[in-house]
Amino acid sequence: MLPKAELHVHIEGTLEPGLLVRLAARNGVTLPAAGTRGRTDRYRFTGLQSFLDLYYANLPVLRTEEDFHDLARAYLVRAASAGVRRAEIFFDPQAHLANGVPLEVVFAGLSAAVEESAEVSAELILCFLRDLGAQAAEEMLRAAMPFRERFTGVGLDSAEAGFPPSLFREVFRRAAAEGLHRVAHAGEEGGPDYVWEALDVLGAERIDHGIRAMEDPVLVGRLRDERIPLTVCPLSNVALNVVPSLAAHPLPAMLEEGLLVSVHSDDPAYFGGYADDNFAAVQREFGLDEDALALLARNSFDSCFASEKDRERWK
Ligand code: ADE
Ligand code: ZN
C-alpha cells in the first residue's frame, strides 16, 4: 500500500454504523431514525447541510472517554491498513460540549488513542464550528488552552456559506500567538473569495477542499507560486453534490496547474471511502499512472506539519 498522509479527516466522520449502534446501546442513547441507514444502504445527501444534520444527530452516542478512545482507535487501525503513516485529525469539541460532554473527556479519549498509535503518527486539530460564530470560537479556544499540548493546530469547519473566514480573524490571530498551526475549510460551498480570506485574513497554512479556487486564475497562480497545500476529498465532493460526478472533479486540472494537491477522505464513514478508497477512485476515474499516484502521496507528506526528517522517512 502506497504510504501517505491523511490531512483531512474529521474523527466524528469516521463513526461507522456498527460502532454507532454499539455506542448507542452502551450509553442507552436512542438514535435518529436515519442514523443507522448506512448499515443496509449508502447514506444519501443533497448537499453539505443535509450531511451535517445527520453527522450532528449521531454524535450524542459519544459520551465517555472510552467512546472517544474507541472511535479514534478504530480510525487509526483502519488508516494504517490504508497506508497512512501520518494523520492530522480534525475534531469538533463544540459539538460535544453542546451534548453535555466535558472537554477533558473528549481530549482524554482522543489523546489516549493518538498516543498509543504505533503504526500512524497522529496529531489533533481542533476545529471551530463556523456556524456558531466568532465569539463561540474565541470561548472555545480559551477553554482549550489547558489542553494546549494535546493539539497541534486549529481549523474551521461546518456550514460554510454565509460564514466567511473573515469573521474568525481574531480567534485565528490568538491561535497563531499560541504557536498553533492554522487550517480552514474554504472553497467547498463558498467561492474563491473564501479561499482568499482564509489565506489573507486567517493566515491559513493549508486550505481544506479549495476546489472552487479553480474558478479564479489569479488565485490559482498564487496557490501555485506559494505552494499552498489543498486537501482535496473527491468522494466527499461527489457525495455532497459539490461536483456533479467524479468525472467532473477538478483534481486532474489542479494537478495540471501544478498545485500542491493531495487526496483525503473527509468523513469516510458517510462518504464511502478512506484514504485508500479515495486514491483507488481517482486512479480508476482518471486513469492515473504510478507516477501521478506517487506525486499525490508525496504531496500529502509535503503538506503535513511533521518535521522534514519524519516526512522524508515516511516517503
Ligand atoms: N464537518 C465534517 N465534515 C465537513 C465538511 N465536509 N465540510 C464542512 N464541515 C464538515
Ligand atoms: Zn472536511
Q: Which among 255, 167, 169 has a CA at the least distance from the CA of 211?
A: 255
Q: State pLDDT tens for residues 110-142.
A: 999 999 999 999 999 999 999 999 999 999 999
Our answer on whether the CB atom of 188 is closer than 6 Å to any ligand 1 atom is yes
- Give the residue extent of every domain in the chain: 4-305
At 287 the pLDDT is 98
Lowest-confidence range among 32-41, 108-117, 146-155?
Answer: 32-41
Answer whether 187 contacts ligand 1 (Cβ < 6 A).
no
φ/ψ (deg, to 5) at 113 = -65, -40
- On the question of pLDDT at 71 being above 60, the answer is yes
4-305, CATH topology level: TIM Barrel (3.20.20)
Which protein residue has the closest C-alpha to ligand 1 atom 10? 158
pLDDT confidence of residue 41: 56
Out of 267, 271, 278, give the residue to mutate to test ligand 1, the one with the largest number of ligand atoms within 8 Å of its CB. 267
- Does residue 88's CB lie within 6 angstroms of at least one atom of ligand 1? no
**Other residues' Cβ atoms within 10 Å of the Cβ of residue 126:** 25
pLDDT score of 79 more than 90 = yes
Residue 249 contacts residue 243 (beta carbons within 8 Å): yes
Q: Is 287 exposed, middle or buried (0-12, 13-18, 19+ CB in 10 A)?
A: exposed
**What ipTM does this complex have?**
0.97
Q: Percent of the chain at pLDDT above 90?
A: 95
pLDDT at 43: 85
Split at pLDDT 50, 70, 90, the class of 303 is very high
User: Ligand 2 centre from 157 Cα, in Å?
Assistant: 7
| Protein residue with its CA nearest to atom 8 in ligand 1 | 158
CA of 264, nearest ligand number: 2
81-115 b/e (C-beta count within 10 Å ≥ 16 → b): ebbbbbbbbbbbbbbbbeeebebebbbbbbbbbbe
Which residue's CA lies nearest to atom 7 of ligand 1? 158
Average pLDDT over residues 5-31: 97
Q: What is the pLDDT of residue 35?
A: 54
45 has pLDDT over 50: yes
pLDDT at 32: 78
Give the active site residues.
188
Residues belonging to the chain: 315
Q: How far apart are the first and last CA of the chain?
A: 12
Write out the three cell numbers for 9: 479527516
- Rounded to whole angstroms, how far apart are CA atoms 33 and 36? 7
Q: Could you read off the pLDDT of 198-257 as tens digits, one per residue?
A: 999 999 999 999 999 999 999 999 999 999 999 999 999 999 999 999 999 999 999 999
- For residue 235, the ligand closest to its alpha carbon is 1
Ligand 1 contact via 267 beta carbon (within 6 Å): yes
